């Protein structure tokens, strides 16, 4: 179906079907030079290897498309492990408040933040939400993301949460980008309810309805998320909601230890969470517990940067053997679609190496979504999701801050070119 020929660098990320890379594995990413790759009609990778070997092996085959990758690099499609992309009503006015010194919780308590977005999302129609969501996914795709985690969480009542989840389901069926969907009804305590009342509502009403819709095939949710935070959901409420979600077959993947140390990491490790996001305030014990439980840390350098929080301790996590992944945290508070920019911030502000950042935005982010057997590296049998960049060294994807618009030449999903950037033909990427 598709032949990518003679790439200057073919960045496999993993070479031996590893489900994730810890620090030592990420130090030596698998990279081939002068190599080719074949994707079959089923959308999966059929062969990876030296250009002349592949040419001989497939000398009799006919291809729908052949792309000459001379002087270019081929990488796995990027995986964005944490986004909130379905909402109405932007918060550009709050950005000015933050710049003037208002904290996240001050804005939240004044009725801004999540509550502002909830008000607008409740009023928006399903069609309006779908239309803006589609545009956002398109922008993510053009920045190289081929698999994205997408949360609900701006409804906080059953009706609006289901509306958001239906929008995500519709996009799964109608767009090229891969989607892992997350029910995040415990994103904030709804106005007029206590955290205890909200917890009961989620456990007794929301989750049974999700189970029913899953059984009827109407909505397939992958993950459950709770904002475990002081003044939002405490540790005990978080435990109850996550366990109830796990009981109906959802993967645990939640917000923890962002603004205050909450022992979220310890809780996640104990419950068998697949991933925990944020972790700016994680304890040393929590880091060790996550490493032992193979619970991924989804770090969000955009959030720490925009809210001027202390950066998550990526180096400490890597040294302790935690599986570190990255996400954009795209939402009205952190308006960033670009995983290349997230990787750059991870390297500069969180002191990750470029190899570690790429592993975190591919195989490890796929692992955080329970998808690393099919996504996150260029290996035979995996889905043919990849990028071709207009540069002889893959590191340009991270090095050129905000430069992906003339650097990413092709985005390919399941062996199909879903974005071809004409500017790469006319402009040098230097």
| CB-CB contact of 35 with 411 (8 Å) | no
| CB-CB contact of 201 with 208 (8 Å) | no
CATH 2.30.40.10 region(s) of the chain?
2-17+29-76+377-420
- Res 78: pLDDT: 98
Could you state, in chain order, the average pLDDT of each consecutive group of 10 residues for the chain (430 residues)? 97 96 91 98 98 97 97 98 96 90 88 92 98 98 98 98 98 97 97 96 98 97 98 97 98 97 98 98 98 98 93 98 98 96 98 98 98 98 98 97 94 98 77
Q: Rounded to an integer, what distance in angstroms lies between the CA atom of residue 176 and that of residue 138?
A: 9
Q: Between the CA of residue 138 and those of 132, 144, 165, 281, 417, what are the distances in Å?
A: 10, 10, 19, 33, 14
- Res 430: pLDDT: 63
| CB-CB contact of 2 with 39 (8 Å) | yes
The residue written with tokens 């955080």 in the block is 368
CATH 3.20.20.140 region(s) of the chain?
79-369
The maximal CA–CA distance of the chain, rounded, in angstroms, is 69
> What count of other Cβ atoms lies within 10 Å of the Cβ of residue 86?
27
Strand order through the sheet with 145-151:
78-80, 145-151, 178-186, 223-226, 251-256, 275-278, 296-299, 324-326
Right CATH number for 79-369 from 3.40.50.2300, 3.20.20.70, 1.10.1840.10, 3.20.20.140? 3.20.20.140
Superfamily of chain region 2-17+29-76+377-420: Urease, subunit C, domain 1 (2.30.40.10)
For the chain, the C-alpha Rg in angstroms (whole number) is 21
What is the DSSP code string of 267-318? HHHHHT-SEEEE-TT--HHHHHHHHHHT-EEEE-HHHHHHHTPPPP-HHHHH
Cα–Cα nearest to 360, from 379, 373, 347: 347
Three-state SS at 103 = coil
> What count of other Cβ atoms lies within 10 Å of the Cβ of residue 249?
12
Q: Rounded to an integer, what distance in angstroms lies between the CA atom of residue 304 and that of residue 333?
A: 11
Written as six digits, the tokens of 65 are 């498309």
Burial (CB count within 10 angstroms: exposed 0-12, middle 13-18, buried 19+), residue 91? buried
- Res 426: pLDDT: 75
CA 249 from centroid of its chain's CA atoms: 20
């Amino acid at each position: 179906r598709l032949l990518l020929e003679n790439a200057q660098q073919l960045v496999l990320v993993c070479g031996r079907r590893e489900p994730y890379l810890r620090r030592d594995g990420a130090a030596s990413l698998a990279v081939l030079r002068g190599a080719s790759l074949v994707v079959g009609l089923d959308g999966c990778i059929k062969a990876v290897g030296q250009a002349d070997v592949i040419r001989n092996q497939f000398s009799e085959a006919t291809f729908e498309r052949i792309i000459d990758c001379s002087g270019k690099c081929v990488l796995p499609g990027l995986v964005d492990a944490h986004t909130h992309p379905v909402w109405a009503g932007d918060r550009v006015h709050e950005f000015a408040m933050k710049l003037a010194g208002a904290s996240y919780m001050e804005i939240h308590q004044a009725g801004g933040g999540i509550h502002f977005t909830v008000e607008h999302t409740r009023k928006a129609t399903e069609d309006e939400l779908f239309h803006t969501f589609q545009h956002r996914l398109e922008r993510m795709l053009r920045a190289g993301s081929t698999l994205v985690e997408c949360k609900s969480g701006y409804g906080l009542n059953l009706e609006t949460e289901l509306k958001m989840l239906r929008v995500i389901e519709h996009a799964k069926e109608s767009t090229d980008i891969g989607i892992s969907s997350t029910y995040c009804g415990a994103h904030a305590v709804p106005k007029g309810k206590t955290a205890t009342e909200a917890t009961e509502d989620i456990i007794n009403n929301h989750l049974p309805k999700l189970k029913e819709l899953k059984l009827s095939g109407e909505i397939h949710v992958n993950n459950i998320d709770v904002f475990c935070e002081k003044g939002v959901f405490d540790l005990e409420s978080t435990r109850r909601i996550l366990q109830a979600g796990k009981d109906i077959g959802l993967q645990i993947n939640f917000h923890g230890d962002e603004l205050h140390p909450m022992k979220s990491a310890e809780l996640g490790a104990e419950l068998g969470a697949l991933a925990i996001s944020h972790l700016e305030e994680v304890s040393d014990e929590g880091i060790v517990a996550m490493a032992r439980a193979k619970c991924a840390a989804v770090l969000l350098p955009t959030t720490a940067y925009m809210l001027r929080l202390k950066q998550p301790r990526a180096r400490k996590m890597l040294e302790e053997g935690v599986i570190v992944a990255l996400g954009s945290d795209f939402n009205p508070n952190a308006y960033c679609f670009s995983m290349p920019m997230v990787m750059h911030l991870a390297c500069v502000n969180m002191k990750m190496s470029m190899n570690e950042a790429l592993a975190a935005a591919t195989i490890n982010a796929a692992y955080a979504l329970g998808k690393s057997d099919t996504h996150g590296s260029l290996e035979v049998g995996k889905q043919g999701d990849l990028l071709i960049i207009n540069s002889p060294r893959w590191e340009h994807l991270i090095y050129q801050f905000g430069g992906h618009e003339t650097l990413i030449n092709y985005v390919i999903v399941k062996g199909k070119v879903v974005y071809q950037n004409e500017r790469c033909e006319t402009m040098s990427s230097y």
